[in-house]
C-alpha cells in the first residue's frame, strides 16, 4: 500500500539516477550535456506543476527561471568580485554574499513571491488569454534583465557566479523538485485542480474555487522553476538574458509535450528523451561536419513522436503500477473479513488510480 501511494515516484527517481550513472561514464563534454539536461528537467517538472495540473498553458515560466537565476547569481557572487565587476550595484547587494545553497533558495523564494503577486490576475485566465499573458511576462522580465545594468550587467551578462553545479548536484536538485511536484499533485489542492482541469464549470458548481487554486499552482510552479534557475546559474557561471528567453522556452515546452502534458511521468520521460536525443544529434553533427543537423533532426524527430503519439510518449498517464507487486501485497495482507472480502482489497480499491484526474 505504501509503494502504491507513492507510485510513480520510485521508478522516476530511479530513471533519473540511471541517466546520471550512464552520463558519468562518458566524456566530460557529454557529461556536461546530460547535466544541463537534468537541470532543464527541473524546469520541465516545475512547468508541469502548473500546466499539467491546472490545464492552463503557459509560455512565460522561463521568466521565473530567469528571476531565480539572476537573484541566486547576484547573491552568490563574492563581495570582492562585485567591487570589481559591479560598480553601480546597490549597496545592500554589493555587500552581501551567501553560500551557493542559500542563494538558490533565495532565488526560488523571490520567484515564488513574483508568482504570488501575479496569481490573483493570472489565476482567472485560461486558454489563449492565459498563454498571451504569460508570454508578455516573459518579454517584460527579459527586457528588465537587458536594461537593469547596475544589477544584471545587461547584455554583457552576469559573471563571477560560483560554478557549483555538478552532475550529482543536478541529480539531487532534480529529485527534490520531483518530490515536491509529486506531493503537490497528490495533495487535496492538486486533486481538485486536476478535476477542474477536466471540467472547470462542474468543479466550480461543487464549490471548488478554480481561480484561487490556479494561483496556488502558479506559486508552487514558480518556486520549482526558480530553484532550477539558481541551479542553472551555478552550472553556467556566467550568462546573459538571452539564455533565459525563447530557446529555453520552446525547448522545455517541447520536452513536456513530447512526454505527455498531463502526467508527472510524461514530464520526466519527455525531458530525458529529448536530452539524450539532442546529445546524440550533436555527436552526429560533429562527426559529419554538418552545422544545423542537430536543430533539424531534433525538430523532425519531435514532430514524428507527436504524430505517432499525439498525447505524448506516456499518453499523459503515469507509469503503470506493476501487477506482480500488487498481487504480492494482496497475498501478504489477506485477512478476510466476516463478509468474505479482504480488508486489504477494500483499502486498495479506495486509492485513486494513477490516471484519475
Question: Beta-carbon neighbour count of residue 132 at 10 Å?
Answer: 13
Q: Is residue 343 part of a domain?
A: no
pLDDT tens-digit profile of 15-27? 999 999 999 999 9
Report yes or no: 108 and 268 within 8 Å, Cβ to Cβ: no
Do 270 and 256 contact (CB within 8 A), yes or no?
A: yes
Q: Would 210 be classed as within a structural domain?
A: yes
Q: Is residue 161 part of a domain?
A: yes
pLDDT at 327: 58
Q: How far apart are CA 228 and CA 231, in angstroms?
A: 5
Buried b (16+ CB within 10 A) or exposed e, 236-260: bbebbbebbbeebbebbbbbbbbbb
Kindly state whether residue 194 falls inside one of the protein's structural domains: yes
* pLDDT at residue 4, rounded to an integer: 85
Whole-angstrom CA distances from 264 to 104, 261, 267 are 23, 8, 5
**Residue 258 and residue 274: Cα distance in Å, rounded?**
8
Identify whether 180 is part of a domain: yes
pLDDT value of position 246: 92
Residue with cell 533539424: 296
Q: Is residue 318 part of a domain?
A: yes
Closest CA to 6 of 326, 325, 321, 293: 321
Look at the chain and report how many structural domains it folds into: 1
pTM (predicted TM-score): 0.88
| Run means of pLDDT, 10 residues per run, the chain, 357 residues | 87 96 93 95 96 92 96 93 82 89 96 95 86 94 92 89 94 97 94 86 82 94 97 95 93 93 94 92 83 82 85 90 67 40 38 43
Nearest alpha-carbon partner for 183 in 316, 5, 1:
5
Q: Tell me if 328 is assigned to some domain.
A: no
Per-residue confidence (pLDDT) for residue 354, from 0 to 100: 44
What pLDDT is attached to residue 324? Answer: 75
CATH of the domain at 272: 1.10.3470
In a domain, 297, yes or no: yes
Segments forming the whole domain that contains residue 120: 2-323
Amino acid at each position: 500500500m505504501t509503494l502504491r501511494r507513492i507510485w510513480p515516484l520510485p521508478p522516476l527517481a530511479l530513471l533519473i539516477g540511471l541517466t546520471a550513472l550512464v552520463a558519468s561514464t562518458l566524456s566530460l563534454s557529454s557529461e556536461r550535456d546530460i547535466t544541463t539536461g537534468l537541470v532543464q528537467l527541473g524546469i520541465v517538472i516545475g512547468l508541469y506543476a502548473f500546466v499539467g495540473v491546472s490545464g492552463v498553458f503557459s509560455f512565460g515560466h522561463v521568466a521565473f527561471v530567469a528571476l531565480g537565476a539572476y537573484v541566486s547569481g547576484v547573491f552568490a557572487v563574492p563581495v570582492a568580485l562585485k567591487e570589481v565587476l559591479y560598480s553601480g550595484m546597490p549597496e545592500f547587494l554589493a555587500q552581501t554574499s551567501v553560500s551557493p545553497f542559500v542563494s538558490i533558495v533565495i532565488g526560488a523564494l523571490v520567484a515564488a513571491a513574483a508568482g504570488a503577486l501575479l496569481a490573483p490576475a493570472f489565476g482567472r485566465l485560461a486558454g489563449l488569454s492565459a498563454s498571451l499573458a504569460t508570454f508578455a511576462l516573459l518579454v517584460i522580465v527579459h527586457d528588465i534583465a537587458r536594461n537593469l545594468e547596475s544589477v544584471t550587467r545587461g547584455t554583457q551578462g552576469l559573471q563571477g557566479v560560483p560554478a557549483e553545479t555538478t552532475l550529482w548536484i543536478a541529480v539531487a536538485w532534480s529529485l527534490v523538485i520531483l518530490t515536491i511536484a509529486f506531493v503537490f499533485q497528490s495533495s487535496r489542492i492538486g486533486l481538485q485542480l486536476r478535476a477542474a482541469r477536466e471540467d472547470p464549470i462542474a468543479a466550480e458548481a461543487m464549490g471548488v474555487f478554480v481561480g484561487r487554486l490556479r494561483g496556488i499552482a502558479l506559486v508552487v510552479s514558480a518556486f520549482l522553476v526558480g530553484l532550477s534557475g539558481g541551479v542553472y546559474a551555478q552550472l553556467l557561471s556566467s550568462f546573459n538574458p538571452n539564455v533565459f528567453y525563447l530557446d529555453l522556452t520552446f525547448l522545455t515546452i517541447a520536452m513536456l509535450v513530447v512526454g505527455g502534458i498531463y502526467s508527472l511521468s510524461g514530464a520526466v520521460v519527455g525531458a530525458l528523451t529529448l536530452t539524450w536525443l539532442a546529445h546524440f544529434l550533436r555527436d552526429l553533427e560533429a562527426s559529419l561536419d554538418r552545422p544545423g543537423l542537430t536543430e533539424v533532426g531534433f525538430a523532425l524527430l519531435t514532430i514524428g513522436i507527436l504524430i505517432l503519439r499525439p498525447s505524448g510518449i506516456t499518453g499523459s498517464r503515469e507509469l503503470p503500477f506493476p501487477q506482480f507487486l500488487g498481487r504480492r501485497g494482496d497475498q501478504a495482507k489477506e485477512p478476510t473479513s466476516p463478509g468474505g472480502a479482504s480488508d486489504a482489497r477494500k483499502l486498495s480499491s479506495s486509492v485513486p488510480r494513477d490516471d484519475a484526474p
